[in-house]
Amino acid sequence: MHQIKTLLLFSQALFSKQNYMLQFNRKNYSNELLIDLYKTILKPRMIEEKMLILLRQGKVSKWFSGIGQEAISVGCVKALHNDEYILPLHRNLGVFTGRNIPFNKLFSQWQGKPNGFTKGRERSFHFGTNEYHIIGMISQLGAMLGVADGIALANKLQNEKKVTVVFSGDGGASEGDFHEAINTAAVWQLPVIFLIENNGYGLSTPSNEQFKFKSFVDKGVGYGLEAYRIDGNNILEVYDTIKGLAESIRNNPRPVLLECITFRMRGHEEASGVKYVPQELFEIWGKKDPVVNYERYLLEQQVLTYDMINEFRAAIKTEIDLGVEEVLEEPDVIANTETELADIYQTIHLPASVSYGNMQHVITPPATNKTSKKRLVDAISDGLRQSMEKHDNLVLMGQDIAEYGGVFKITQGFLEQFGKGRVRNTPLCESAILGAGYGLSIKKMKAMVEMQFADFVSVGFNQIVNNLAKSFYRWGQQADVVVRMPTGAGMGAGPFHSQSNEAWFFHVPGLKIVYPSTPSDAKGLLTAAINDPNPVLYFEHKNLYRNVELEEDVFDDYYMLEIGPARIAKAGNDVSIITYGAGVHWALKHCAEKNIDADIIDLRTLLPWDKNAVEASVKKTGKAIVLHEDTLTGGVGAEIAAHIAQHCFQYLDAPVIRTASLDSPVPFNLDLEQNFLPKERFKTDLDNLVNF
């Protein structure tokens, strides 16, 4: 009862009983504009009505209705320039039709047909199209807010006078991404409008159970930005407000929060129904129908006639009917495994790799043979700096990376050389910054996002596994983002600064994972990662950064190594050691001390990993041990061991052995940490395997 009373008070406070019907102000807008707005709001309503019929007939499988909220989508899309990006949600059909996407193309998408935007791989509005400057949502609602930041940042860096609009529901605004994206936009003064459709519900949860503030306008003060509240059912108010804001933001870039009050006249989606909504709300909001009220107003103003209405309706109905007929007759997608796997990564056409000096799999040799001694940290810094010189569209983002040079000083001096626009200190908003990297990529820029420690990536996990990783497969959009991940234990840093978390991402199609163990590899693989249009997680072992024992001659000039092939760190015949990162050096040291004739395979790339190199080694030696610093259960070694068992069984002379860290968090005490790490257990396991 309290819930119903609260919701009724909410609606009645906004609109008095004497003023249920909308009050329009045309200002100086022409009849042509008013009619264009009418046709644009009528079309999504008629499509919706058709979809509900098809849903009842079983010809469509699911539908998220925006009936009652059309004025927001249409007012927004008509107020912006056609080349300004909009990031809508489920119920924003008017954004898509307002950008004149043909109905049959949309219906093909909804039906999972080949002529849709995603080859049948996505549903409804879960797609993007750069042709129409629309980036659709993913189901994790707040994820696109940070992406809008990235698009707006690109606009600002490229000196384009453009504004980006990103939609959020009142329920979705409870997510952490909402806070992170708005905070980042405010700090960076990005030209973006955060449009909140406040329809009173997050699925069935009413607003009073989502938040306790009275209005989203109240949030603007806390973030240091402007905030406005308007009637979201009044198309002229929406259009005029966004048009004015957009014109202002183009000339004075800044973020704005815009709350649009509206109501959802159908359920969250049709299967959910509306029994959880008090009937009185439908009576109140039914009188504020955005299409009916606007039509009535135009008739009263003699801008519109019934003959015109019939003409517009007939034309829209014809387009819808023909589109439905055409799409229902289209062939279905034919599953092809080769095609599906080929679309996981964007194809890169590379020259054949060669050996060059002491390096294997070089695809871009250095211009000269000049070298100098470099530690791992020096090589990474060198490769990053030269990549910034080579790619003027590359932006670096991370906590403390500018004036301070990063906690490991890898970007020291970069601010002075490249400027604050391209070397950007970030708020502690990992998710928003990773999303911004994706937004930059949509605008054909490159992004490097530094996690201060690899452990902190958990805060941005969703952006990596659901936005970056799936982007190319879902709708052909590259995610040109490198995430640098300082990783690993051995420094007494405890459980939140020492984790090896590469296995968290090893399971995710669409990502590439690079993990070098030497300075030469570190530089060449980082430059390659930045050139790669696919998302790359680049792991750097902190305990190897300044280890002078690993210092080696590294080419001073820019070069690239091929991502994917493993490196033969040591050739041998008695046993195969498959490892990466610090494990390479543990293996080399023990084999030298015990004079073990081992074939040591340094994977370097974990996803995709070099199956051919591993198979060739195991077939040669007949014995295999997989070593990694990550914990044992579910680690990368489990997949490699399983592959060896399946594909090399007939060549094996002993069981495949896995050696890894204990299945526990990383302890702080140095003695406990050394016990946690697998170095000593590896020596025993390897000796036993050699003697098997």
Active site residues: 497
The token duo for 690 is 């050699």
> Number of C-alpha atoms within 13 angstroms, CB side, residue 254?
15
Extended beta strands in 432-589, E state: 446-450, 481-487, 512-514, 536-541, 552-555, 560-561, 567-570, 575-579
Measured torsion, CA atoms of residues 244, 250, 253, 258, in degrees rounded to the nearest 10: 30
Give the integer Cα–Cα distance in Å for 94 and 68: 12
Contact criterion met (CB below 8 Å) for 146 and 181:
yes
State the DSSP code for 497: S
Beta bridge partners of 514: 538, 605
Phi, psi of 684 (to 5 degrees): -65, -45
Give the integer Cα–Cα distance in Å for 232 and 172: 17
Contact criterion met (CB below 8 Å) for 140 and 466:
yes
Give the 3-state DSSP-derived string for 351-386, with helices as H, strands as E and coil as C.
Answer: CCCEEECCEEEEEECCCCCCEEEECHHHHHHHHHHH
Give the integer Cα–Cα distance in Å for 630 and 503: 8
CA distances from 100 to 65, 74, 132 (A): 19, 12, 8
Quickly count: other Cβ atoms within 10 Å of residue 428's Cβ: 12
Quickly count: other Cβ atoms within 10 Å of residue 200's Cβ: 22
Name which of 195, 235, 228, 198 is nearest 22 in CA terms.
235
User: How many residues belong to the chain?
Assistant: 692
Beta bridge partners of 448: 396, 482
Q: For residue 169, give the 3-state DSSP assignment.
A: strand
Give the 3-state DSSP-derived string for 105-139, with helices as H, strands as E and coil as C.
Answer: HHHHHHCCCCCCCCCCCCCCCCCEECCCCEECCCC
Give the integer Cα–Cα distance in Å for 504 and 511: 11
Name which of 460, 473, 483, 567 is nearest 530 in CA terms.
483
